[in-house]
Structure 1
Amino acid sequence: MSTTAIDTSGAGRKKNIWSLIKGTDFLTMFTALAASIYGLTLVYSASYSSLSDGKVISSDVRSMLVSVIGGFIISVILSNIDYDVISKLWPIVAAGCVGLMIFTYFFGVAPPSRPDSKCWIDLKIFYFQPSELMKVGFIISFSYHLDLVRDKINKIKTIIPLVIHGAIPVGLVILTGDAGSALIFLIMFIGMLFFARVNIGYFIAGFCAIFVGFAVAWKTGIINGIQRQRIVALFYPEQYADAMYQQTNGKIAIGSGGLFGQGFLQGNMTQSGAVPVNESDMVLTVAGEEFGFVGAVGALLILFFLVLRVMKIGIKARDNVGYLMCCGIAVMLFAQILVNIGMELSLLPCIGITLPLFSAGGSSSLCIYLALGIEYSVYRFSKMPRETLFYTK
């Protein structure tokens, strides 16, 4: 690996600074920041009524704000590092992520409402969810793996290691009790295989295997407790009113907002706390109630534009690794949007998946910005690879 010499003259410095500015994917960056600002507004409203005397913002807002600022700074730094270098660090990234998940399994902490879900690490200053970081690590390592075998992608001896690669994060998050993240990893795995142009026959076989596996897990009681109850409640909501309480009230809140909403900090159900966890899993209900149909659709349009933008950058990438990385980021975002909306509209069971960049949760926002930093790098180095500070051969 070699780096270009940096001109220390004034002209050289100006050229480098201009190259950094010129090579920035401002459209994606501003879209992500717009989503975060809107999200902070919604989380502030969701937690406003619970503020104690003298407090200006809640811990959720503070954590999210710090994560957005920190994540943004890290994403800008990553944008100046050739993504090819990042992809070749996959063994370190993968080992670090797996190590964190194993540590979480033994020493993780769980919320009082879900003692079986040990998904967080208590860092004393804040709680960190390693599965969010593992999503980024999986995108990096799996993109490299897919590129490595692209000439023989449809051979069975290639597919088996790919399946094992995809099963590792799914298995690790299931061990910590995080079924929601396991579903996101599964969608990411399938989506990245699709964009890597794996033969459709493998997908049919895979979906059949998933169906059989789910049936066996259901029959043997592997899927039990609250998870089983929430699935059944989707089909018999009246018989499981308690299990559907959060989602039922969420839909009422969205519907009560009408076209333009009841106004910021004026939502009756939002401010009364009638929708549990509306600062996180159910944050779209806040947008729907206080900013109406226009506000809820506006939030989704921002996110879907972000997904399409990341995909567009991937299609224009200089090589297959850059393309696959962007595809992985886009699929990750889309999967979380799809599952979260499905939860809030009672189309899917409530499994604790946040709406990207909108929901409270420092780990989620921080790691999404890390992923976007890779996309910024793909944009920069695909467009002007020889005019940046960290160009590598």
Structure 2
Amino acid sequence: MKIDNIIDKKLLKNIDIGIIISVILLFVAGIIAISSATGVAYGGSLRYVKIQSVAFVLGLIAMLITLVIDYNTFGEMSKTIYIVSIILLISVLIFGKEVKGSKSWFDFGVVNFQPSEIVKISFILSFAKVLEKREDTLDTFKGILPVVLYIVPIVGLILLQNDFGTALVFVFFIAFMLFAAGIGYKYVFGAVVLGILSLPLLWFYVFEDYQRKRILVFLNPEMDPLGRGYHVIQSKIAVGSGQFWGKGLYQGTQNNLGFIPERHTDFIFSVIGEEMGLVGSVAIILLFMLLIMRCIYIAKISKDSYGKYICIGVMAMFLFHILENIGMTIGMMPVTGIPLPFVSYGGSSLLTNMIAIGLVLNVGMRRQVIRF
């Protein structure tokens, strides 16, 4: 295993400050929003704030450990990482706990852990190695077939957990990684056509009744204003009522009166929109834009294809979460239970995101090709 002593000073000079600043500011904004959503200012429990803070500290430790290990070491372990990922996903199907219709959690009493979160990172690491080895053959059927067969077990196991939202995250970042690796356009076109043609089959034979209703309510929330459309309607009211400057921290009426559901997790952006207004919402979006752009930049300057694909995968994972979460709070995307990175409450998600940031920083730190 390639481990640098503590971390060489030359490597530290290459660390991306923009990413670190954006992550810290997003976490601080998240803690403030979580404290407001859980009513801390009015005597509410500090439990969620404390757990999120502990998760952030653990995430920092995990990130530092990730920085110390040369990222190419993960490439050498890619087969083992892939097998462990499969075992985790099978284990949660057998021994996992069902939460909100998805059997995707391990219950450890004090905390719950969602394996698919960490599998996002492990799959990016292993899949990036597959692409590095096959990037010159992705324009042929013989080259693309093994890649597809590599993807199917992971996505299939997540679908068996009845976690369609997480499966979409995987499909999204896999598509970005394939595109970056130079997949032939005929296969992209074929996949799009196949996806469109399969929609009727998915609608009638794959989607559960609640999933079909969720899509219909997304198209018209008012068709079920007190049921499945309630989340989106109340969220849009909250975001809109914040107007330009917001109602002020801890002053949101939709938030404090409990009209916003899941306001410390999935709908945390609604709290930000109501209390911090357009100014605060745009500030959060700009921080995310900085994070995404820095990930793309590091992918561009990485010393090898493996590092590039890791950064593209992480970037796309973040991008999907951002677009889906913010989109669903303003009625632009269907509700899927996807958290907002570094902002929404959730230990598994925060830990995964911190490790992902560590990987991107790792690639950036080691971007120079060593010459002897």
TM-score > 0.5 by shorter chain: yes
Aligned partner (choices 267, 284, 304) of residue 282 of structure 1 = 267
Aligned partner (choices 216, 221, 225) of residue 237 of structure 1 = 221
Q: Distance in 1 between matches of 2:276 and 2:3?
A: 50
Q: Distance in 1 between matches of 2:3 and 2:351?
A: 29
**Contact kept? 2:223, 2:229, Cα under 8 Å:** no
Indicate yes or no: 2:135 matched with 1:144: no
Quote how far apart the aligned CAs of 1:52 are: 6.3
Q: Distance in 1 between matches of 2:2 and 2:153?
A: 34
TM-score by length of 1: 0.89
Indicate yes or no: 2:315 matched with 1:330: yes
* Residue matched to 1:10: none
Quote how far apart the aligned CAs of 1:51 are: 7.5
Quote how far apart the aligned CAs of 1:235 are: 2.6
Indicate yes or no: 2:152 matched with 1:167: yes
**Contact kept? 2:59, 2:354, Cα under 8 Å:** yes
Quote how far apart the aligned CAs of 1:180 are: 0.5
Quote how far apart the aligned CAs of 1:125 are: 2.5
Aligned partner (choices 15, 21, 24) of residue 24 of structure 1 = 15
Q: Distance in 1 between matches of 2:32 and 2:84?
A: 34
In the TM superposition, what are the counterparts of 1:183-332 in structure 2 within 5 Å?
183-220=168-205, 222-241=206-225, 242-332=227-317
Describe the SS at the equivalent of 1:120: strand
CA change 1:348–1:362 in 2 (3 A) is same
**Contact kept? 2:341, 2:353, Cα under 8 Å:** yes
**Contact kept? 1:79, 1:375, Cα under 8 Å:** no
How many equivalent pairs are there? 371
**Contact kept? 1:49, 1:271, Cα under 8 Å:** no
Q: Distance in 1 between matches of 2:43 and 2:102?
A: 29
Quote how far apart the aligned CAs of 1:71 are: 0.9
In the TM superposition, what are the counterparts of 1:381-392 in structure 2 within 5 Å?
381-383=366-368
Aligned partner (choices 70, 73, 79) of residue 85 of structure 1 = 73
Aligned partner (choices 151, 154, 157) of residue 139 of structure 2 = 154
Q: Deviations along 1:190-212, whole A, 9 cap, x unmatched?
A: 11111111122211111122222
* Residue matched to 2:37: 46
Q: Distance in 1 between matches of 2:360 and 2:237?
A: 38
Q: Deviations along 1:103-140, whole A, 9 cap, x unmatched?
A: 111111123xx2x3111111223111111111101110
CA change 1:229–1:366 in 2 (3 A) is same
Q: Deviations along 1:216-253, whole A, 9 cap, x unmatched?
A: 02122x21222111101123332222211001100100
* Residue matched to 1:65: 53
Q: Distance in 2 between matches of 1:163 and 1:51?
A: 52
Q: Distance in 1 between matches of 2:321 and 2:57?
A: 22
Quote how far apart the aligned CAs of 1:49 are: 5.9
TM-score by length of 2: 0.94
Moved over 3 A (4+): 1-4, 16-21, 49-53, 383-386
Q: Distance in 2 between matches of 1:192 and 1:65?
A: 32
Quote how far apart the aligned CAs of 1:374 are: 0.9
**Structure 2 regions of 5+ residues with no counterpart?**
none
CA change 1:50–1:162 in 2 (3 A) is farther
Q: Deviations along 1:278-327, whole A, 9 cap, x unmatched?
A: 11111111111000001111111111210110110110000111111101
Quote how far apart the aligned CAs of 1:151 are: 1.7
Q: Distance in 2 between matches of 1:252 and 1:81?
A: 47
CA change 1:225–1:379 in 2 (3 A) is same
**Contact kept? 1:195, 1:324, Cα under 8 Å:** yes
Q: Distance in 2 between matches of 1:150 and 1:144?
A: 10
* Residue matched to 2:28: 37
Q: Distance in 1 between matches of 2:145 and 2:324?
A: 27
Quote how far apart the aligned CAs of 1:93 are: 1.4
Q: Deviations along 1:68-120, whole A, 9 cap, x unmatched?
A: 11111211221121111122111121111211111111111123xx2x31111
Quote how far apart the aligned CAs of 1:384 are: 7.7
* Residue matched to 1:76: 64
**Contact kept? 2:325, 2:338, Cα under 8 Å:** yes
Root-mean-square deviation (CA, aligned residues, Å) is 2.1
Aligned partner (choices 96, 99, 102) of residue 87 of structure 2 = 99
